Structure 1
């Protein structure tokens, strides 16, 4: 009887440890830390550290898949005009926004030269979280904060603040000036042309 009791306790204890480990591994800090580390692995594996190849970009895209809520980012960046779009248009704009994000902010990743990234514990508030990190480059330290929310598929990033500046807010301000001078169709055309130029520059 005592042996059965001990065995049962051991199984329950192991189960609790597994649950705790699972909960910790899928928390906001662990999620973004693992994602960033995967990106760093891709960057460190490059043969030519001066640029990103198509293979590098594909690997980075796979690393962040499911960890960034591009629809939420696109919606916040576009503002009220988002509500005037139908489902197909919203999906298309989200795709264009993702391409823009990967090409513009993604290009900065090519500048990676072994900088260290340190993460602080997540600050939780309901279904939202803030995870602060510091990019250490010699004596220079750059604060990068990830705003995340809980979704049906786990924690996802909906905004990034670099040195206090919101990425989504920056896009919103840029988009608004274009919207004011030609509406949504003009914005979409402008973004698609910009993405095309960025892709051409990557080939040169």
Structure 2
């Protein structure tokens, strides 16, 4: 389920610009829904301009994600929430290691979605939020050859603007899915055991590329 969510997330970013092309006004990156649409348009333009990415060149895809998507995410918050109560058990150094390894795992997991892209488009649900809200959800539906896939994005307003920190695919939030896995690893092997687990997973995924 987690991998499906990540693959769908990346597919959305790469194909969703089709839904933006018909918009009369450029999206406002200072609003949550406008930021999502802006990211989509920017990523899609980059993909169209890079034949190597279109061929599935993973290092190029990873570089694209690092430059075009990661700056608009809050990986510290994502990692902290995935850790739950166990976050306070980690030292500052361990927390930084966990953030780096978790980010690498997510990037390596959904970078492979490029080869699975077909003719997906995206429908944006009406965005409803109060001006004072600092935590919101942007709801979308990915339309393809199979059944429509509900895909939502949770964003938080920070001092550096809106940041994505969680996604929901068909009712399952990414953070909740990883929290169970992280909790099991820590209960068996401690925080260092979780770091080692993530390092091993990233090494395995890197070996497959």
Contact 1:120/1:132 (8 A) holds in 2: yes
**Which residue in 1 is equivalent to 2:81?**
76
- 1:91 counterpart (85, 90, 96): 96
**Which residue in 1 is equivalent to 2:44?**
40
Q: Which runs of 5+ in 1 are unaligned?
A: 1-20
Equivalents in 1 of 2:145, 2:42: separation in Å? 22
CA RMSD of aligned residues (A): 2.2
Q: Which runs of 5+ in 2 are unaligned?
A: 1-24
Query: Which of structures 1 and 2 has the larger relative contact order (alpha carbons within 8 angstroms, sep 6+)?
Result: 2
- 1:177 counterpart (184, 188, 192): 184
Query: Stretches of 4+ moved more than 6 A in 1?
Result: none
Q: How does 1:1-204 map to 2 (within 5 A)?
A: 24-44=28-48, 45-47=50-52, 49=54, 51-124=56-129, 126-138=133-145, 140-202=147-209
**Which digits, 9 at most, give the CA deviation of each residue in 1:178-203, with x for residues without a partner?**
1121111111101100100001101x
Deviation, 1:30, is 0.7
Greater CA drift, 183-192 or 40-49: 40-49
- Size of the alignment, in residue pairs? 182
Equivalents in 2 of 1:159, 1:48: separation in Å? 25
Contact 2:54/2:114 (8 A) holds in 1: no
Deviation, 1:37, is 2.8
Change (3 A) 1:119 1:163: same
Question: Rg: which structure is higher?
Answer: 1
